Amino acid sequence: MTHETKLAKAEKAILNRAATLRDRWYPAYHIAARAGWINDPNGLCFYKGRYHAYFQHHPYSSEWGPMHWGHVSSEDLVTWRHEPIALAPTLEEECNGCWSGSAVVGDDGRLYFFYTGHRHAIDFDHPETRREVQCAAVSDDGVHWEKLGVVVPGDKPRGNFRDPKVWRQGNVWCMVVGQQSSEPRGQVALYTSRDLRTWQCEGVIYEWPTSEVRMIECPDLFCLGGRWVLCFSAMGMRPKGYVGRNYNNAGYLVGDWSLGKPFVPTTDFTPCDWGHNFYAPQSFETPDGRRIQFGWMSPFQFEAPEKADGWCGQFTLPRELTLGDDDRVRVRPAKEVMEWTRSHGSTSAQMLETSLNSGAGSPTIPSSDVRAASPHSSNAVTCSCPAFVCPIALAPNTEHTLASDLTCGLIELVFDLITSDAERMGVEVHHTSDGNRLFVGYDAQTGCVVVDRRNTIRGNRGYRAVPVNTRDGRIRLQVWLDRGCVEVYVNDGEAAMSELSYPGDGPRSVVLTSESGTTHVCELAMHRLA
């Protein structure tokens, strides 16, 4: 079967599945496939005036299966358009899947994919029969692709050798690939090329120091703030404190590197995201030199309720990365997303529907509407502009409903820790009539921002925590709500937390809470995004 025929078959399947998709948790403004399964971000790039995001995609079901490459594109990192499926497995070397990879614009002005071709002679659970090689494809428009076949077969047949990330370093093209040693131990190997066709192995530039991490996936090596950052997904890491709590864990090391030398870390492994649902991040450089990263909100080993609705998997928001003076990566929503959220508007109905005791009567909180294009269609959605009230004093063991129905939106909160003595303070979101609710807030006993899912009805439970800096006496939170997920950004970039969330039917309220003490909120803004 030709590549064109296989793509046409996959397109027909995805359109049929999309026609019956149930959207109760399907994202309004996060990237997802039209239907079916997605996982890792692939091929992130800017080409011919548009941003392109590809992804691991199984169009025939909402379960993981033989991987294709799905595709969306955007002019502004906000409004995303579905494109035809870009890659389908057709070659013998990729007969069981076109696995993850990256994209670069070559010297000839064409767009090149580099991806892992995967096949297994018996089945996936027999690793000794797996074969993974690095393949390439080329395009003149980012939509239609010509396969070039295998470009890096590896030094020996192996089943854990994948996820090529390619970039230009001076006048040399570089490729990092995740692999597994015979011990086994996770490694990052480097290849170089002058023409994107012929690649030379330069050896292993990083190896995890113990056999605890058996495999490194999705490596990404880039310069940030004058230092080198090696980002990767570690398989097999054991929990240590608040780090390494997920089934597999994505994080980064900051260190020193130059061509011909190994990567030497100068920091400990730090999570890219401290939530339950984040994996396989990939980054790229924008035309103005910013580093933007997407991650996959992975359900990991637990069953995802949205599978029954005909789809599974979504990306985080595009995240802008910078490096702090402490060699910690700062992560914030891309400025385009923030500008879109906070920009235009005209007066509309009041969002805060319960009066709050601010010590000066009952404040009224104005809000406004702005038309913004949906990330998944040309339809418009509503975006409500900020509504501030300052200060708010919440008595011990009380709660106030901030919005009786906020399914998709942004809540911005600043807690004053100097005047607050509550043990926990925060908001319950996706609060539905069946008792479902997810808590996001600050735990004064541990000094952590926490996301607590103990009162969720569907999906995995548990909580996640990230230690935070409280030296200025304040905690700043951005809580992004979509139909089936929550993203939290802490202290203007100090940390991020990604969570899948499955509220019940009906209105989804937002409730401010104060546990075992008084809570003071310095600033509050709310934006309705759908």
Domain boundaries, the chain: 3-333, 343-528
* Residue 7 per-residue DSSP state: H
Per residue of the chain (530 residues), what is the pLDDT tens digit?
Answer: 899 999 999 999 999 999 999 999 999 999 999 999 999 999 999 999 999 999 999 999 999 999 999 999 999 999 999 999 999 999 999 999 999 999 999 999 999 999 999 998 666 566 667 899 999 999 999 999 999 999 999 877 778 999 999 999 999 999 999 999 999 999 999 999 999 999 999 999 999 999 999 999 999 999 999 999 999 999 999 999 999 999 999 999 999 999 999 999 999 999 999 999 999 999 999 999 999 999 999 987 778 999 999 999 999 999 999 999 999 999 999 999 999 998 732 222 233 333 333 333 322 222 222 223 333 333 333 444 445 456 899 999 999 999 999 999 999 999 999 999 999 999 999 999 999 999 999 999 999 999 999 999 998 899 999 999 999 999 999 999 999 999 999 999 999 999 999 999 999 999 999 999 999 999 999 999 97
Catalytic residue selected from 40, 163, 443, 452: 40
Assigned superfamily of 343-528: Exo-inulinase; domain 1 (2.60.120.560)
Assigned superfamily of 3-333: Glycosyl hydrolase domain; family 43 (2.115.10.20)
Report the alpha-carbon distance of residue 145 to residue 112 in Å, rounded: 9
Query: Is residue 40 among the annotated active site residues?
Result: yes
* pLDDT attached to residue 157: 73
Residue 11, helix vs strand vs coil: helix
Report the alpha-carbon distance of residue 269 to residue 264 in Å, rounded: 12
Report the alpha-carbon distance of residue 214 to residue 115 in Å, rounded: 21
Question: Each residue of 66-85: pLDDT tens digit?
Answer: 999 999 999 999 999 999 99
Question: Each residue of 84-108: pLDDT tens digit?
Answer: 999 999 999 999 999 999 999 999 9
Question: Each residue of 114-162: pLDDT tens digit?
Answer: 999 999 866 656 666 789 999 999 999 999 999 999 999 987 777 899 9
Percent of the chain as helix, strand, coil, to the nearest 5? 5, 50, 45
Report the alpha-carbon distance of residue 192 to residue 176 in Å, rounded: 9
